[in-house]
């Protein structure tokens, strides 16, 4: 069901217009020429750590999609098992959190997770409108019912509350609902707009320096800071001649035409009429980052943009000279965290120290992927 759709769309973002945004503040505009180049991985990253994840019958990852790192732990959400697998910093399997079933603390599916080590809690989001809370060892604490929505997709911590994203039934339904983390009750709701655009993906949020950001596609390349009752412009990308103005295409963006225009959107993305969609976005003290998705499943090409905050220098590329694919599952202050499958491991041979490469030479195709931490220069 959902994980098939999200694998297609996991790097895409949702968008809409006519929302409660405050653009009065001075804009931070990031100007970039989207001319791809081939760079060495060493231009951005200083060192690489390999964490081979232990493989047993109890911890076989089938569809890992999200990583949250904590106090010597790596929490990995798997969309096919619908569980969180917990490994230590050496890759040793510790335990799982959550389970499919009909008993207490069990569910049909979960789509997202939040880890709050300060409160000793892990929260899992069900698309059917439930929030499941466990302690860090996987013991079930409680289940909260969320406000009735069509399909919960993603969530992010925002202060003492939780921000959720749902696929709307119509353009009149808010996509962002902020709920009380303790009881699941609605605090506020935001972001209405054309369903055809908001249905492209499960939403894209990230948190940096205590602030939460929302990065909608087809919204003038704007990244918005979210508070509990409003959105305000944080910064904006300017790609010059490569900016996309969705109003130039033949979309009415009305609910009556959503099926037909959904097919048209697929065609436009597939044949390059609409050249790209902006995907995951992050930042730390050194970089702004955005992922670009060109084409349509299964013929997608992913490119990456790293924008250096200190001087505005940018790196726009598909792969590195060393053929290392960049696919951040977590974007942290010191590093990005990603998975490397068996097929990726040979490319790392030329850049890893002998000690790090020794960790992966015994891997086989049936093993869990390696967790790779790429540390910024």
pLDDT at 13: 35
Given a cut of 50, whether residue 21 has pLDDT beyond it is yes
d(CA 226, CA 199): 20
**Buried-state track 263-272, b at ≥16 Cβ within 10 A, e below 16:** ebbeebbeee
Mean of the per-residue pLDDT values for the chain?
A: 89
Handedness of CA 329, 332, 336, 340 (dihedral sign): negative
How many domains is the chain partitioned into structurally? 1
Query: How large is the average pLDDT for residues 154-164?
Result: 93
Given a cut of 80, whether residue 275 has pLDDT beyond it is yes
pLDDT in tens, 34-43: 998 889 999 9
User: Residue 186: which CATH number?
Assistant: 2.120.10.30
Q: Are 43 and 315 in contact (CB under 8 A)?
A: yes
Query: How large is the average pLDDT for residues 328-338?
Result: 96
Q: Which domain holds residue 224?
A: 2-376
Q: Are 340 and 41 in contact (CB under 8 A)?
A: no
Query: How large is the average pLDDT for residues 70-88?
Result: 96
> In the sheet that 83-88 helps form, which strands lie side by side, from edge to edge?
64-69, 73-78, 83-88, 93-97
pLDDT-derived band at 203 (thresholds 50, 70, 90) equals low
């Amino acid at each position: 069901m959902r994980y098939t759709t999200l694998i297609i769309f996991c790097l895409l973002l949702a968008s809409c217009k006519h929302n409660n945004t405050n653009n009065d503040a001075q804009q931070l505009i990031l100007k970039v020429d989207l001319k791809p180049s081939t760079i060495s991985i060493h231009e951005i990253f200083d060192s690489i750590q390999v964490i081979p994840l232990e493989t047993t019958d109890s911890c076989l990852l089938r569809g890992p999609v999200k990583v949250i790192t904590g106090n010597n732990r790596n929490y990995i959400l798997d969309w096919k098992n619908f569980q969180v697998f917990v490994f230590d910093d050496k890759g040793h399997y510790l335990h799982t959190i959550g389970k499919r079933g009909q008993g207490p603390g069990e569910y049909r599916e979960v789509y997202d997770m939040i880890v709050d080590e300060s409160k000793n809690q892990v929260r899992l989001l069900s698309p059917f409108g439930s929030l499941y809370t466990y302690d860090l060892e996987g013991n079930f604490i409680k289940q909260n019912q969320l406000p009735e929505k069509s399909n919960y997709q993603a969530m992010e911590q925002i202060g003492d509350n939780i921000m959720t994203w749902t696929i709307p039934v119509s353009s009149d339904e808010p996509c962002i609902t902020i709920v009380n983390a303790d009881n699941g009750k609605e605090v506020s709701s935001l972001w209405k707009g054309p369903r055809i655009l908001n249905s492209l993906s499960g939403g894209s949020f990230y948190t940096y320096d205590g602030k939460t950001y929302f990065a909608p596609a087809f919204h003038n390349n704007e990244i918005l800071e979210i508070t509990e009752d409003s959105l305000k412009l944080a910064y904006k990308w300017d790609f010059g001649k490569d900016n996309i103005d969705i109003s130039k295409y033949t979309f009415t963006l009305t609910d009556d035409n959503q099926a037909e225009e959904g097919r048209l959107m697929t065609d436009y993305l597939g044949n390059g009429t609409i050249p790209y969609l902006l995907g995951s976005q992050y930042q730390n003290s050194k970089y702004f980052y955005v992922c670009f998705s060109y084409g349509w499943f299964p013929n997608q090409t992913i490119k990456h943009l790293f924008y250096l905050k200190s001087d505005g220098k940018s790196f726009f590329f598909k792969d590195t000279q060393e053929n290392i694919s960049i696919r951040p599952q977590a974007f942290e202050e010191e590093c990005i965290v990603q998975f490397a499958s068996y097929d990726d491991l040979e490319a790392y041979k030329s850049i890893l120290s002998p000690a790090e490469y020794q960790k992966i030479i015994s891997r086989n195709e049936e093993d869990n992927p390696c967790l790779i931490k790429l540390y910024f220069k």
